[in-house]
Structure 1
């Protein structure tokens, strides 16, 4: 993996970049995801859950940042992130939902997502678990084999198929940095031709049911195992 002195130009950072700051932003993002999920209940309308999520972020001292706060229920979990949800979807007693947030903590970007299940539907439970498991499988390949972002997503696609899912390439991973990363690089991880550096990229995994009934999502920063254990 490249050292900080030999980073690809796409992996440059801004003047406020800080390892500790990025880890703080990540920690606060993951905690906010847990707090939002704990407040979601069957019978809620998706739009109300989004409003609640925004309020939780603000109350946590985080700024709403560089992409919309998303909470998606049921059939909306298959939609690409840039496509608006079908309005008025209500979370059922046996259902799946995911959270996708991109808050900012002081100068640093957070970005994270995870899927959750209410009830006991085995397909939903497996899909949510597989999205997170595949994220970590891809992360381990990145750590151990130092392959390019392109090859990481090729591996992710193969593994998703072996699990019985489709991988949504509309969510191909992206840079993360001190705010705003878009001033440095806007290309995707799935198009990155070299091995990604730590603490520079968000790996996104969006699994779709082949029959397009539901999906599950997990995303987090590419970090080594020691950084994960800090959370």
Structure 2
């Protein structure tokens, strides 16, 4: 168990690092299962209905933030923004799945980007979001820098890779449900080193010229 440090890293009495790891694993299982069910010709609304059914079948406790599935240009949208219309996924297209789900009383949160067809730029965009996440995660593991420094590094790395990082999305707290009572704020504003099992690292990239982007997030643990 991670110690309850108080302040922005406070946790509830039922918090257990092992349970956070389980929530992480189950959330990724759901992301991957939903992504496999999404295919060209499907509308965003149809994918959402399918995704909610998958979550119910997997035995989630509840959803703690809405399931988001974005197609095409909607991959540029941030969490609180509504999708434009109800687009149909194309044969050469890009989409992401983002979910926040409670399992055994603990909050899972994960998201990833996928492509259909063989568009090389879309594939590169999806891969870049995961690569950038991996680079930032390695910095956290090896040097234990502050949350502020993690996102400074992420922005510089994104630029060096030829992409633009959306710095309006800078990670957030998770915990035993509900984490919101602890008011942890954004990881990118956290002026200390993030302890394991408490923070989600979020990466959202935009293509430098085309109207789409990519998203990847996972628990730092």
Normalising by structure 2, we get a TM-score of: 0.96
Is the Cα contact below 8 Å between 1:127 and 1:216 reproduced in 2?
Answer: yes
Give secondary structure in 1 for the equivalent of 2:168: coil
CA positional deviation for 1:213: 0.7
Q: What does residue 214 of structure 1 align with?
A: 212
1:42 to 40, 43, 48: 40
Q: What does residue 227 of structure 1 align with?
A: none
Is the Cα contact below 8 Å between 1:14 and 1:178 reproduced in 2?
Answer: yes
Give secondary structure in 2 for the equivalent of 1:82: coil
* Superimposed CA distance per residue, residues 126-174 of structure 1 (whole angstroms, 9 cap, x where no aligned partner): 1111101111100100111111000100000011111111111221100
Q: What does residue 108 of structure 1 align with?
A: 106
**Segments ≥4 residues shifted beyond 6 Å:** none
CA positional deviation for 1:12: 1.4
Q: What does residue 150 of structure 1 align with?
A: 148
Is the Cα contact below 8 Å between 1:57 and 1:63 reproduced in 2?
Answer: no
CA positional deviation for 1:18: 1.1
Structure 1, unaligned runs of 5 or more = 224-231
* Superimposed CA distance per residue, residues 79-109 of structure 1 (whole angstroms, 9 cap, x where no aligned partner): 1111000122110000000000001112111
Normalising by structure 1, we get a TM-score of: 0.92
1:58 to 42, 56, 70: 56
**Pairing 1:136–2:128 present:** no
Bigger strand share:
2
Cα distance between partner residues in 2 of 1:212 and 1:148: 33
Is the Cα contact below 8 Å between 1:78 and 1:212 reproduced in 2?
Answer: no
TM alignment of 1:22-41, pairs within 5 A: 22-41=20-39
TM alignment of 1:116-195, pairs within 5 A: 116-195=114-193
**Pairing 1:9–2:7 present:** yes
Check 1:5–1:27 CA distance in 2 against 1; reply closer, same or farther (3 A cut). closer
Instruction: Give the CA RMSD over aligned residues.
Output: 1.4
Cα distance between partner residues in 1 of 2:147 and 2:124: 26
CA positional deviation for 1:5: 5.0
Give secondary structure in 2 for the equivalent of 1:104: strand
1:205 to 200, 203, 206: 203
Give secondary structure in 2 for the equivalent of 1:153: helix
* Superimposed CA distance per residue, residues 24-44 of structure 1 (whole angstroms, 9 cap, x where no aligned partner): 111100000010000001000
Is the Cα contact below 8 Å between 2:148 and 2:187 reproduced in 1?
Answer: yes
